[in-house]
Amino acid sequence: MYQKALAEYRLKIYFLAPTLLVLIVMNVFPLIWSLGLSFTNYSSLMSKRIAWVGFTNYSRILSDPFIWKYFQTTARFVIIAVGIEFLLGFGLALLLKEQFRGWGLVTTLILIPMMLSPVVVGLFWTFIMDANFGLLNFLLGLLGFKKILWLTNPHLALYSVAMVDIWMWTPFIMLISLTGLLAIPQSLYEAADIDMASWWFKFRKITLPLVSPLLVLAVLFRVIDAFKMFDLVFIMTGGGPGDVTETISMSLYRLAFNKFKTGESCAMAYIILILIIALSNLLIRWIHRTKTA
């Protein structure tokens, strides 16, 4: 008996140890290291002597008006993109709630955008949004619109990138909402029909309360992802024109890999990390709630 328990215990360790080891070596260790670097003036480009600078990097970043501006840009991007994705995605899910012939094919086709690489998506939308030969301006031209400079007009560029994010991620919200909608027992609606309940009443009292846990989950996933937005911006505008599409990830990239201020960029990374951890904690708590519910 004792032998067997020991064998089980060994197996458990063998099964768990590699994963935990990988995550500690590849995630925890680099993070601790960059915490150390964030208090130095280290630059990965120059081989000058590394000096301890205390909290200088942190105070420099927190007092930099541009960083605050980039945080605002990121927040604007997140709110616009995720907000519209939510409305469109949920609306689309309501449309697709009842199955019809070809339903499976249609829903799968709609899901393709979110599976593609952001780089690829960014590239072909840049092509479609080209002011002169782009498909988008041509189609709008048919409706009588003038040429729109999607990616070079400073008032518009952020919204254009948000639009591509919306194209890519509306399907995600649609999918999660749809999963929730399809799980609602049909009998609830039938009971409400007997009472001659209105469409609006059924929506408010049955549909919304039952899908809302999943909707919150989907939105939290999206907010965390959109907050990290890098690829689309990098490909489509590179942060420009000027700095109107400079999201926080983009500006961190610049600090670390264009200006090579490694120490300072580690400090900034830590500030972002704290925000992300706060957001992920929300998500994780919500996962706990949906799991136990």
Partner 1 sequence: MTRRIVKGILIGAALLFFLVPIYWIVATSFKQWPDIFAIPPKFIFQSTMLHYKALFNLDLEEVAKFGQAGKSLFPPRFVNSIIIAGVSTLLSVTLGTFSAYAFSRFRVKGEGDLLFFILSTRMLPPIVVGIPFFVLYRTLGLIDTHVGLILIYMTFNLSFAVWLMKGFIDEIPKEFEEAAMVDGYTRWESFVKVVLPQALSGIAATAVFCLITAWNEFFFALILTSERARTAPPSIAAVQGTSGINWGQIAAGVTVFLFPVVIFTFLVRRYLARGLTFGVIKR
Site for partner 1 in 68-97 (CB under 8 A): 92, 95-96
- 107 to 146, contacts with partner 1 by CB under 8 A? 108-120, 123-125, 127-128, 132-133, 135, 138
Interface residue with partner 1 among 172, 181, 207, 245 (CB under 8 A) is 172
Q: Which of 16, 57, 77, 53 is nearest to 249 (CA)?
A: 77
Q: Which of 249, 257, 251 is nearest to 230 (CA)?
A: 249
Q: How far apart are CA 106 and CA 102, in angstroms?
A: 6
Q: How far apart are CA 20 and CA 33, in angstroms?
A: 18
Question: How many other C-beta atoms can be found within 10 angstroms of the C-beta atom of residue 138?
Answer: 13
Q: How far apart are CA 234 and CA 117, in angstroms?
A: 13
Task: Provide, rounded to whole angstroms, the least separation between the CB of residue 212 and partner 1.
Answer: 14
Task: Provide, rounded to whole angstroms, the least separation between the CB of residue 258 and partner 1.
Answer: 11
By CB under 8 A, which span of 48-56, 68-76, 149-157, 262-270 interacts with partner 1? 262-270
Cβ distance to partner 1 smaller for residue 115 or 155: 115
Does 104 help bind partner 1 (rule: CB under 8 A)? yes
Site size for partner 1 (CB under 8 A): 89
Q: Which residues pair with 52 in a beta bridge?
A: 40
Question: How many other C-beta atoms can be found within 10 angstroms of the C-beta atom of residue 157?
Answer: 23
Q: Are 286 and 220 in contact (CB under 8 A)?
A: yes
Interface residue with partner 1 among 81, 161, 175, 211 (CB under 8 A) is 175
Beta-carbon contacts of residue 6 (< 8 Å; ≥ 6 apart): none
Interface residue with partner 1 among 6, 20, 51, 87 (CB under 8 A) is 20
Interface residue with partner 1 among 158, 162, 176, 181 (CB under 8 A) is 176
Does 44 help bind partner 1 (rule: CB under 8 A)? yes
- 222 to 241, contacts with partner 1 by CB under 8 A? 224, 227-228, 230-231, 235
Task: Provide, rounded to whole angstroms, the least separation between the CB of residue 65 and partner 1.
Answer: 21
Beta-carbon contacts of residue 20 (< 8 Å; ≥ 6 apart): none
Q: DSSP letter string over 41-69? A: ---SS--PPP-B-TTHHHHHHHT-HHHHH
Rounded to 5 degrees, what are φ and ψ at 240? -90, -170
Does 212 help bind partner 1 (rule: CB under 8 A)? no
Task: Provide, rounded to whole angstroms, the least separation between the CB of residue 189 and partner 1.
Answer: 16
Task: Provide, rounded to whole angstroms, the least separation between the CB of residue 6 and partner 1.
Answer: 11
Cβ distance to partner 1 smaller for residue 110 or 188: 110
- 148 to 167, contacts with partner 1 by CB under 8 A? 167
